[in-house]
Amino acid sequence: MGRQPSAKPTSFDIAYLAGVSQPTVSRALRGSKSVSAATRANIERIARELNYTVDKNASSLRSQRTHTLALLFFEDPTPDESMINPFFLSMLGSITRQCALKGYDLLISFQQMHNDWHVAYQDSHRSDGIILLGYGDYQLYRTKLEHLVEMDTKFVRWGSVSDDSIGLTVGSDNVGAGELAGAHLVEIGRRHIAFLGDASDHAPEFQDRYTGLCRAMRAAGIAPDPGLQQGAVSSEASGYAAARSLLASGQPFDAIFAASDLIAIGAMRALAEAKLRCPPDVALIGFDDIPAASQTSPTLTTVMQDMKGAGELLVDALLRRIGGADAERTMLPAKLIKRQSTAV
């Protein structure tokens, strides 16, 4: 009978039982070396017996460090509220795991582009740093990123790793990945290669992939045809529309490099409707290797980004940044996954 089991023990309780002062308990549990091994062992034993856990709020308040990272997803305002880009979802796993490994909690938030997220997290002391994830109009949030830098908020961004990008950026080697895809298409004998994806500076990653494609083509002595490039955002519908307008343009092509798998899947549908067989008539490569890519018919050749590595790198880079170090921009290599859509 007696005490409620839910009366949470504090460091004072431990201190009393151990016959020391509260600060000593704090020091012992945090691994300060100015407490003797015997005392520490005793304190740790008592803490375990009482099921004691440090109160995060009090700890964060005093130390001004939350041991929490915030993950902000960006989405373009989309009619379908529940859809999330599958690519980012798969990165979530590795980010979470890496956070856990480093002893950090992860706070998640989805944001519409237009929101004032740049204010929301910077001062509320809820996280030590921010991970920014999201496709979408890069120019649109450029100024917000500048604001973050100005406020000395610690953050990492996933995206195109170019010299003029703002803040600390981690991303795939999109140019290299584009080259991989282009080289493969050239290798299987394609010369009229179309690109589906916005290649403006509103979408630096897509632009980089296009740049890589062009580089591979030129290396093979082929001049890229600007007329074979069609704008598209990362969705099945947009890919479908882009492929339709490519077909409607009447220009001959024997391969498509789509800037994302969703675009590729939309294009695949348009090709099927146009009675074009995909490999023989048109070879198709996507980007991301989302789960659906191996379920389409034909299965989709695509570029796989190292998402496990990406999550770890993002977290590590952010933690270094928080620690005051000058973390550098980093690029991750990508890998070509060959499937039926380029099997000639």
- Cα(327)–Cα(315) distance, rounded to whole angstroms? 11
Closer Cβ to a second copy, 1 or 223, answer by number: 1
Closer to DNA at the Cβ: 24 or 235?
24
35 lines the binding site for DNA (CB under 7 A): yes
Q: Which of 6, 62, 163, 248 binds DNA (CB under 7 A)?
A: 62
Choice from 234, 296, 330, 342 touching a second copy (CB under 8 A): 296
**136-143 contacts: CB < 8 A, separation 24 or more?**
136/74, 136/75, 136/76, 137/76, 137/113, 137/202, 137/203, 138/201, 138/202, 138/203, 138/204, 139/201, 139/202, 140/113, 140/202, 141/74, 141/113, 142/166
Tell which positions 8-27 bind DNA, by CB under 7 A.
8, 10-12, 19-24, 26-27
Q: Which is nearer to DNA, 59 or 299 (CB)?
A: 59
Residue 36 carries which DSSP code? Answer: -
Considering the complex, what minimum distance in angstroms separates the CB of residue 55 from DNA? 4
| Distance, CA of 153 to CA of 167 (rounded, Å) | 10
Q: Residue 300 CB: number of other CB atoms within 10 A?
A: 28
Query: Which residue, chain included where needed, has tokens 């929301």?
Result: 120
Q: Which does 104 bind (CB under 5 to 8 A by kind): DNA, a second copy, none?
A: none
Does the protein bind DNA through residue 54 (CB under 7 A)? yes
x-or-dash string of contact with a second copy, 305-324, rule CB under 8 A: --xx----------------
CB of 41 to a second copy, least distance (A): 21
DSSP assignment letter at 65: -
Distance CA 48, CA 185 (A): 61
| Tokens 């897509």, residue located | 206
Phi/psi-derived region of residue 167, left when phi > 0, alpha when psi is between -120 and 50, beta in every other case:
left
Given the structure tokens 């015997």, which residue do they identify? 38
Beta carbons within 8 Å of 1's beta carbon, 6+ residues apart: none
Residue 140 in 3-state DSSP? helix
Return the number of the residue (40 or 184) whose C-beta is nearest DNA.
Answer: 40
Q: Which does 23 bind (CB under 5 to 8 A by kind): a second copy, DNA, none?
A: DNA
Binding partner of 328, given a second copy, DNA, none, CB within 5-8 angstroms per partner class: none
> What DSSP designation does 293 have?
G
39: contact with DNA by CB under 7 A = yes
Identified binder of DNA from the candidate list 4, 34, 51, 82, rule CB under 7 A: 34
Q: In angstroms, what is the minimal distance from the CB of 84 to a second copy?
A: 5
Least Å distance between CB 9 and a second copy?
8
* CA 38/CA 53 separation, integer angstroms: 21
Q: How far is the CB of 130 from DNA (least distance, A)?
A: 20
The binder of 35, among a second copy, DNA, none, by C-beta within 5 to 8 A per type, is: DNA
- Return the residues of window 128-187 that contact a second copy according to CB under 8 A: 150-152
The amino acid occupying position 272 is: A
Site residues (vs DNA, CB under 7 A): 8, 10-12, 19-24, 26-27, 29-30, 33-36, 38-39, 52, 54-55, 58-59, 61-64
Site residues (vs a second copy, CB under 8 A): 5-6, 8, 51-58, 60-61, 66, 68, 81-84, 86, 89-90, 92-94, 96-97, 100, 105-110, 119-120, 123-126, 150-152, 265, 291-292, 295-297, 307-308
